[in-house]
Copies of this chain bind each other. A is one copy, B any other.
Amino acid sequence: MPEVDKYAVIVAGGSGTRMGSAVPKQFLLLSGKPVLYYSIAAFLEAFTDIKIILVLPNGHEYYTTSLLELFPSSANITVVNGGETRYHSVQNGLKKVHGEAVVFIHDGVRPMVSKQLIHACYTQALEKGSAIPAIPVTDSIRMVRSGGSDPVSREELRIIQTPQTFLSRIILPAFAQEYSTLFTDEATVAEAYGNEVYLVAGERSNLKVTTPEDMILAEALLNARLKNE
């Protein structure tokens, strides 16, 4: 396996309004540390030589400074400003990626991502060019329409997570395209540029912290994980 550089573009652009909190959700505390701390620490733990590119909205200098102080000075972390949409935020982050590399693009509010999943994404991206974590759907699904709803077979559906992982030679040209509202995640950007993307098994515990209840769930998973270590 060739040795290539690794970059993790960690995107935390949200203003956290769904959380009902003045503090953006990526800076809310889980067991005394910000959500973003865990997202970043997972990648540093997976690869000691990884370069972290942290994409943050403007105006949170105080939180950002406090966050960075939690990491040793040896950690390679660069902060860049977010953009108007997720696409533009990732695009800003990717400007810091150079040369042949594996690039992880991760939601800052998925703090429970495991080292194992990061390694699995790395291995598959090297082999196939991409790795998009996906898990099966366990609940029934319906599709709403004007005046009602219809059942949808869940067998073929997958819930998509991050880190969406790519070779730099695939994702950098894809993000040079003009923005489209069809770009809902990085996989759709890569596809619009003509690439097939490849799924990899995600993890149910890799949850996206979106509501106050998600914070309770994330803290419970964190405590259970610490107890098992």
Per a CB cutoff under 8 Å, which of B143, B156, B158, B221 touches A213? B221
Does residue A219 face the partner (Cβ distance < 8 Å to B)? yes
Asked if B197 and A205 make an inter-chain contact with CB atoms under 8 angstroms apart, the answer reads no
- For A135, give the chain B residue with the smallest CB separation: B139
Q: Which of A2-10, A90-98, A185-193 contacts B (4 or more CB under 8 A)?
A: A185-193
Does residue A73 face the partner (Cβ distance < 8 Å to B)? no
6 closest cross-chain pairs (CB), A and B: A220-B220, A140-B160, A139-B159, A140-B185, A216-B224, A143-B156
Question: For chain A residues 181-229, which have a beta carbon within 8 Å of chain B?
Answer: 184-185, 187-188, 191, 196-199, 204-205, 208, 210-211, 213-214, 216-217, 219-221, 224
- For A211, give the chain B residue with the smallest CB separation: B204
**A interface residues, Cβ below 8 angstroms from B:** 132, 134, 137-145, 148-149, 151-152, 156-161, 184-185, 187-188, 191, 196-199, 204-205, 208, 210-211, 213-214, 216-217, 219-221, 224
Main secondary structure of the interface of A (DSSP, over half): mixed
Asked if A141 and B156 make an inter-chain contact with CB atoms under 8 angstroms apart, the answer reads no
The smallest C-beta distance from A108 to any residue of chain B, in angstroms, reads 15
Asked if A161 and B185 make an inter-chain contact with CB atoms under 8 angstroms apart, the answer reads no
The smallest C-beta distance from A75 to any residue of chain B, in angstroms, reads 29
Asked if A221 and B216 make an inter-chain contact with CB atoms under 8 angstroms apart, the answer reads yes
